[in-house]
Chains A and B, each alone.
Chain A
Amino acid sequence: MKKSDSPKVIALRSLIALLCIILGILIAGQLRSVPLRVTNPVAPYASLKETRDDLSQEQNELKEEIKTLQKEISAVQLNMNRNVLSEKQMTELNLKKARSGVTKLNGPGVIITLDDGSGKTVTEDTIIHAADLRDVVNALWAAGAEAVAVNGQRIVSNTAIDCIVNTILINDVRLTNPYRIEAIGRPDALADFLNDAVSLSILRTRSDRGEIINRLEKNDDLTLPEFDGSLEINWRSG
């Protein structure tokens, strides 16, 4: 056996060969990651973000327009010729509108504030999720609430509470924490129900552990905004 073929030399050659293979793979990877043509990986993202901002702006404008039109229609209906509609019919129409959520309502009720925990450790339990809001809103209806709004978004018959990553969407409007849930109804009844509701036990436990903020207060003078979206029924026959 030659001296150059000693186990140490063989080990060294093997090591160099291995390192060269790794280096080759990295160089190949680096070369492949360099595009042949000039491209900007951020451009599609920036463009999408710009489109989203434009659409959000348009949404706000459309909602304002809807609010204005609804107010104008109500005003015209109120002043309509009494030959067409009686006082009673007008009152009934207003009540139907109020029940469906397209008019502002005022009254006593409760305010629930939900917010993410302030601790340094972030886990699933320290963040307020769309599901938490759904549970609270569902409990409020069960408790006898007459109207509910979350961060100024009125909950109506077709409202869904959903999320895209860390943003909560209500009536397709992006909402961020803290979440202020306002409900009109008998304050004591609403508060008692929420404090005892089995469906909110996990939320209360998280709050007791200090993982989230969950505050409930009674209020005698709440004003809930009108719904400013579309309430059309599109798939009914006849």
Chain B
Amino acid sequence: MAARAVTGVSIGTAAPPATGVDPLEEVLSLCWAGHPAIVLASPPGGGKSYCLELVGSTMVTELGERVMVTTQTNAQAHDLAERYARAYPSLPVYLLTRSGAAVEISRRFARFPNVTVVDRPRDLGDGPSVVLSTTRRWEWVGLDVFHADLLVADEAWQMTYADLAMVAPLADRMLLVGDPGQIAPVTTAPLLRWLDQAAAPHRPAPAAVLATRGDDVAFVQLRHSRRLGPPTVSLVQPAFYPDLPFGSARPQRSLSGGGLGTSHLNAGRETCMVEVPGEPYGLADPEVAAVCAQVVTDAIGVAEVVQGEERRTLGPADVGVSCAHVVQVAAVRSALGPAYSEVMVDTAERWQGLERELMVVAHPLSGRDELTEFARDAGRLCVMLSRHRAGCVMVSRGGLRELLNRGAAEATRNVGILAPDGLRGWNAHNSVLDAVEAAGVLVARPGD
């Protein structure tokens, strides 16, 4: 297995974002004032969850309101309920589950006396409380059974405009919180019929709301990432968030030591690329999978996270591998073997909302011979490059630039849509590749 690590992205501190009113103060003021619709856009690790906790608890305890929180997955609802329970032990929290699941799920929350798990909407209390559930579950709650003062949508950019239409009638006002750079909602239906509509039912809810009722909606954006360091912000922000300037508010943090890939990361460099020599092999590329596995095994137990005076050796739970396809996940898992079963290996979709100290990324364009809509999706690459707290190693076959150049004209264009998703993805991939190239050496060519 011949693989060679090369230098990666070395970028200076990101330009400081515009200062002014604290965005959290702004959101809290708008919610308190009873603004009918607020959209809060956040960069990765921008403090969305903290904002949800703050708004929810304040509206319930200070104003005696009922707040409903809608999440896109069960796991998100459970995690958020636990955060509320930990941060505000006297706050009444309800978790509405699917029918028949309340008993089992309530075991997880047995240690939090302020959390009530119910599976029937009629069992939700009438008083001030935070009520959490998934969008799919809220759809089945009758308008005559439940009504809230404020609807808070978590990860709202993963929610379609059609989904919002299903839950919005349950509350008087709404706060949509999310990350506009993430993977757009997945729809399995043919969408040609609505592609030219800015407020089509399949589009992310906040984007559609701003397109239709922009003048009546308050738009606030968080301006710092607590997860990403300045080098990563300089890579990610221009590529994926051209309209959302943000900087890094993370304390100095870096990786030290390790082997393949990680040994090239340090305080000024959080990202590097390892190119696997040879011709593209297809999606389930065993050599790329083996290199991903090698980066992981070289780092665990050897590399250290350094923050100030503190040093900590990386364990299996500190490392993750993100792939674009399930077949790649299977290949990396197979290469890692059962000894590293604690290392989370999964697709970008599953990595949304999660983070690790070190992330290994199987580049979505690696091994491809054509540039599909899926491969060039900006949201997928954005998720992959924004899960790490200390370092990120990309693994790929060569020829990415040639692949992008070949697919330049293929982005589908539709009347009425000025910036199609395909073009946005193509630009984002080029921007990331430009940043890597600008750093000096890019990737090792076979035979170098």
**Do A and B make up one complex?**
no
B interface residue numbers (CB < 8 A to A): none
A interface residue numbers (CB < 8 A to B): none
